[in-house]
Amino acid sequence: MKKAVITGGTKGLGRAIAELFAENGFDLCVCARTESDLEVMKAAWAEKFPNRQLHTFQVDLSKKAEVVEFAGYIKSVWTEVDVLINNAGSYLPGLILEEQDGTLETMLEINLLSAYHLTRSLLPVMLPRKSGYVFNMCSIASFLAYPNASSYSISKFALLGFSRCLREELKPHGIKVTAVMPGVAWSDAWRGATLPYERLMQSSDVAKAIWGCYTLSDAAVVEELIMRPQLGDL
């Protein structure tokens, strides 16, 4: 049975990705900051995917020690990992000269360093097999600076840089790396929004695109995946 790790897997894009991988035969290990969200997911999984294994772990990904602890938990229940999806992220608005002190550090800890530390911790169980896949959830903000979201954009630019470096280092070892850069998709963050339903992508669209990348032959890789709503960015 193949195994995938997904950070921030209880809601939104992470949940859509988790469900699609489970539908295609994967056992999963997901993390989230809120224990109640993990419990709700486990209850839903027992009904929807009774034959799929689901491990959950509560973690604050802004804290390196907890990220490393999560990695240790994964390695305690599995001896191998096929897919790592660094999906968890956070958004804080603000201008560089006006945002609260510490905003950049917070964005870097959650959006960049959590992926960096988790990937470093799990690669030792992926490298010996000469196969595997790492997806990093970047953003349109990884190459196009968002107004009033400077620290967020900085962190996502950095995550794209990390993805490119990782791709170069892992290509000789048979491990693929894809930087996923989606525009806005419906998720809990847009709950209550008055935008037309068709204006935003669906979380399932992003999940299907990631699955499409995963199912390519061993000879091919999508290095960077850009997705936008058909009518463009908001």
Point out the residues that are catalytic. 152
Q: How far is CA 226 from the centre of its chain?
A: 15
- Please tell me the distance from the alpha carbon of residue 189 to that of residue 66, in angstroms, as a whole number: 25
Name which of 226, 178, 221, 219 is nearest 205 in CA terms. 226
Name which of 125, 109, 108, 110 is nearest 29 in CA terms. 125
| Paired residues of 175 in beta bridges | 132
Q: Could you give the angle at the alpha carbon of 64 between the alpha carbons of 58 and 66, nearest 5°?
A: 25
Tokens of 183: 């525009």
Parallel, antiparallel, or unpaired for β 54-58 and 3-7? unpaired
**Looking at residue 226, what DSSP letter applies?**
E
- Convert 202-222 to b/e letters by CB count within 10 Å (16 or more is b): ebbbbbebbeebbeeeeeeeb
Yes or no: say if 84 and 178 are a contact pair by the CB < 8 Å rule.
no
Which residue's entry shows tokens 């499409």? 212
Q: How far is CA 148 from the centre of its chain?
A: 23
